[in-house]
Every structure is written in C-alpha cells, then in structure tokens.
Structure 1
Amino acid sequence: MAQFLTIDDPSDPRLADYLSLRDVNLRKSLEAAEGLFIAEGAKIIRRAAEAGYRPRSYLLAPRWIEGLKDLLDAVDVPVYVVSEALAEQVTGFHVHRGALASMERQTRWTQADLMAADRLVVCEDIVDHTNVGAIIRCAAGLGWDGVLLAPRAADPLYRRAIKTSMGTVFALPWARLSDWAQGLESLKEHGFTVAAMALSEDSVSIDEFAAELADRPRKVALLMGTEGAGLSSHWISQADVVVRIPMAHGVDSLNVAAAAAVACYALGAAPHSLGDSGQSAG
C-alpha cells in the first residue's frame, strides 16, 4: 500500500521529480539522469499504470486520492499530498488536473522491432513535443503500426507529448533511428517503400499514391519533416516517392500533425499491428 505523506514546503527535496515541469532543458537532463517521466492527470496516470509502467511516486491534491485508490493500494511508493497552490509552486504552472505521477522509463521497442511493420510514420527532426504526441495519437488511432523518430526528434515520454497523445505513447510501438544519415536504407532493406511528405516539382498527390498502393499493396514508411523547414534534402533524395496533399486558397501546407492525420487516413491502416493501438484516446 502507498505511503501518504502531506507536504507543505515547496522546497522539500522529496518533490525533486516534479520540479519546474515547464523548463524543457532542465526536464531533459533530470528525466534522463533519473530514468523517469511525468504522467499528468488521472486518466494518463491510469493508462501508464495499465501499460505496465511502474510509479516512483505520486503528487496528488486530496480530491484525486479516492479516484486513484485502486492504483495506490497496489503499490508501495510515496504519495505526496499537497495543496493545488503548492503543486503550482513546485511545477511552475497551474496543475489543473490535480494529479501527477513520476514513472520509471522503459525502453520497450527498438528500430529492429519495428522493421516487421507494414505501416510506419518516420519523424525527422520534429522538435515540438505537442506535434510528436499528436502524430503518435494519429498513427495509433488510424491503425498504423508504429512511429520511428530521428535522433533529434522530441521525446515521446515528455509530459506534453504524453498529454497530447492521450496516453497512446504507452501503447503504440515507437523507437529511435540509430543513424540519421543511413537509417532510411535500413527501411528499404526491409521492404518499405519510403514516401516523403514534401512540396517538390516531382511530387505526386496523396490520392494518386493511395491508388497505387491499392493496386499494388506494399509496406510504407511515411517521412514527416520538422516544423517550418520540412524534410531535409538528404532524406527527400533517398525517398522512393515524394507525396503532397493538394491544397486550396493559396495555402501551401498543413501543420505536420494535421498532415500526418490526413496521410495516415488516405494511405490506409496496416493489415496487422505490432501493438495494441485500439486504446481509446478520448
């Protein structure tokens, strides 16, 4: 059973896991060094626990204790009971969901694991955590097998990415590419058609590419580029096909997460899945 500890001092060292959650650089170093991530909100905490992630501690306002009682009864970790005002002092923002958990990180999938997939989204240097979380949610909800991330892409287990994904980062397989420069060759060696989402003179419309896949089904790795600049010329040059979403009213492109949703829907769900992506994201 969990140990309930009431804390009224925001400088209490026992709250170190929850310090300054909006300071991205601090959180990167702290979470990597300590091997943790933060789950925010009762629903996300529950999904992390149900996916098998082990808690280090909980930070809860009193009103959330009863709703999480079954989880708290099942673990022997500290539960720091604090006022919502103190939680705001420690974390650096108003924790309107009133519940946080520090969870132990796990490496669940590798690049090699995802090579058995039929449909992968591959994110180059997408550094915005919200976009990475939204892309993973889109891929999961639309039946794709998983997500590969270039070495410099944002962390799917950063708090904002988890929150935006509504916990699908715990269910959909994702992994890091080990080599940005040569990583796409590995995809081709495993039978993937590498499709780059980009604006170029030789691009084909996504409807045209979808029709080709319907006539000749094959594995697809869909490349999505960073915010603003898009995919690097290096990755585009290695793609088998460059694909665009037809646009109107003088708009040249969509937000990368919106584009991923359109592309995942248009190009069809994977015939099978590497993981359980049927978890509700609502």
Structure 2
Amino acid sequence: MADLVEIADAADPRLADYRDLRDVELRKNLEAEHGLFLAEGEKVVRRAIEAGFTARSFLMAPRWLDGLADVLDRSDAPCFVVAEDMAEEVTGFHVHRGALASLERRPLPPVEDVLAGARSVLVLEDIVDHTNVGAILRSGAAFEFDAVLLAPRCADPLYRRSIKVAMGAVFTMPWTRVPDWYDALPALSRAGFTTVAMTLAPDAVPIEEAVQGLDKVALVLGSEGHGLSPRWEESADRRAIIPMAPGIDSLNVAAATAVACYVTARR
C-alpha cells in the first residue's frame, strides 16, 4: 500500500520528478536520464498501472485520493499529497485533473517482437508534435491496428502530452522505434507487409483502392510540415491519398491517420 506523504514545501527534493512540466527540452533530458515518464489524470494513471508499469511515486491533491484509492492500495510507491496551488507551483501549470504519477520506462522491444502476429501497423516518420503522436496512437487503437513503428526523430509517445491525448492507448498498443531509418520500409516489405505511403505524389491512388484486399498492411505517414521524405515515399510499395474537396489538398496528419485507419480496418 502506498504511503501518504503530506508535503508543504514546493522546493522539497522528493518532488523532482514533477518539476517544470511545461519545459519540453528539460523534461526530455530528465526523463531520459532517470528512465521515467509521467501520467496525468485519474483515468490515465489508472490505465498505466493496470498495464503493469511500475510507479516511482504519485502526486495528488487530497480530493483525488478516494478516486484512486484502489490503485494506491496496489502500490508500494509513495504518494505525495499537496495542496492544489502547490501542485501548480511545482509543475508549472494548473493540474486540473488532480493526479499525477511518475512511472518507470521499459526497454523498447525489437521491431520483430512488435510485428509478431500483426496485420495492420502504422509507421511514422519525423512526426515531432507530441499531440499528433498521441492522437495517432489513439486512432490506431480505436480501429484495432496491431502496432506502431516510429522513426528515430519522432516525438516521444511517453511524453506527458502524448499520453494524455492518447488517453492511455500508448500503454496497450505495441510500439517501438525502427533502428534503421533508410531501410525501414523495404524491411517491412520483406516481412510480408504492403507499405502504403500517404502522400500527394502523382501516382497516388485513393486510400480505399490502395488497401483493398491486402492481408498485411503498413500505413506510412510523414512529418507535419513536409510530409514523407523522398526516400520513404519512393521505397513504399504503394502511394495513397484521401480524396477531398477541390482546393483542399491535405489534412492534419492526426486527422488523416484517423480516416486512413478507418478505411484500412474495413478493407
């Protein structure tokens, strides 16, 4: 059972995991150094623990203790209890969902393990916005995709904002990073997947046509600004578009993923 530890000083060193959550670069360095990530909100904290992640600690305002009592009963990690204004002082924002947890990261699994038994996967190249990465994972989970692969420069799915937008889907959706960016798509083709790049290339066909009848498919999506790199666009087995009204040539990458996942799931 978690020990409840009341803290009255925002400078208390035991709160180090929760400091300056708005400073993205600082948080990336801190979380990588200490092998941790943060979950925010009752539902997300609960889903992280239920998925088997080990808590380092919890940070809660008193009114959230009852709602997460069963989670705290199953953990030996300390629960730091602070006033809501102190939580804001420590984290740098209003913690309106009341509860945070610091959890231990797991080593990333090999690509082969993530793809074992998979038929539908998402492959992300250089998507750097944490909100977009979280939304993409949520769409993949909603439409029963089996896994997500990320290029080395993609945003961290375990960054607090990604987790929050994904509503915890990152805890149950198998994912990892591809170690070889250059040969990533040919390697998927050799593994039996048809890679379908979402692009405005001249030979792109409607997504319904591109995925029709495929057994194992990998949807490939590129960065928010420039889309896919020439290497990934050209090395994909097929290229696809989402048909839309004249004068509108594209959607936000997260919205495009949701549409493409919906169509692909019904292939």
What TM-score does the superposition give when structure 1 sets the normalisation length?
Answer: 0.92
Question: Of 207, 230, 235, which residue of structure 2 is paired with 1:233?
Answer: 230
Map of 1:160 onto structure 2: 161
Deviation at 1:109, TM superposition (A): 3.2
Question: Of 218, 222, 240, which residue of structure 1 is paired with 2:219?
Answer: 222
Does the 8 Å contact 1:115/1:187 carry over to 2?
no
What TM-score does the superposition give when structure 2 sets the normalisation length?
Answer: 0.97
Map of 1:189 onto structure 2: 190
Segments of 4+ in structure 1 off by > 2 A?
107-110
Unaligned runs of 5+ in 1: 271-282
The answer to whether 1:22 aligns with 2:22 is yes
- How is 1:37-76 mapped onto 2 (pairs within 5 angstroms)? 37-76=37-76
Deviation at 1:269, TM superposition (A): 5.7
Map of 1:209 onto structure 2: 210
Amino acid at match of 1:228: G
Deviation at 1:10, TM superposition (A): 1.2
Structure 1: how far apart are the matches of 2:114 and 2:80? 38
Does the 8 Å contact 1:61/1:84 carry over to 2?
yes
Deviation at 1:165, TM superposition (A): 0.4
Does the 8 Å contact 1:144/1:269 carry over to 2?
no
Unaligned runs of 5+ in 2: none
- 1:152-174 C-alpha deviation (Å, 9 max, x unpaired): 00111100000000001000111
- 1:123-175 C-alpha deviation (Å, 9 max, x unpaired): 00000011011101101110111100000001111000000000010001111
- How is 1:1-282 mapped onto 2 (pairs within 5 angstroms)? 1-107=1-107, 109-116=109-116, 117-210=118-211, 213-214=212-213, 217-268=214-265
Does the 8 Å contact 1:143/1:269 carry over to 2?
no
> Which 10-residue stretch deviates more, 89-98 or 102-111?
102-111
Structure 2: how far apart are the matches of 1:60 and 1:206? 45
Amino acid at match of 1:181: Y
> What RMSD, in angstroms, separates the aligned Cα atoms of the two structures?
1.2
Amino acid at match of 1:245: I
Structure 2: how far apart are the matches of 1:257 and 1:123? 11
Map of 1:276 onto structure 2: none
| Matched residue SS, 1:66 | coil
Amino acid at match of 2:146: D
Structure 2: how far apart are the matches of 1:58 and 1:32? 19
Structure 1: how far apart are the matches of 2:171 and 2:108? 9
- 1:39-92 C-alpha deviation (Å, 9 max, x unpaired): 000110100000001110010000000111111122222111101111111101
Does the 8 Å contact 1:119/1:269 carry over to 2?
no
Does the 8 Å contact 2:222/2:228 carry over to 1?
yes
Count of residues in Structure 1 that have an aligned counterpart in Structure 2:
266
Deviation at 1:207, TM superposition (A): 2.3
Deviation at 1:249, TM superposition (A): 4.1
| Matched residue SS, 1:175 | strand
Structure 2: how far apart are the matches of 1:68 and 1:39? 13
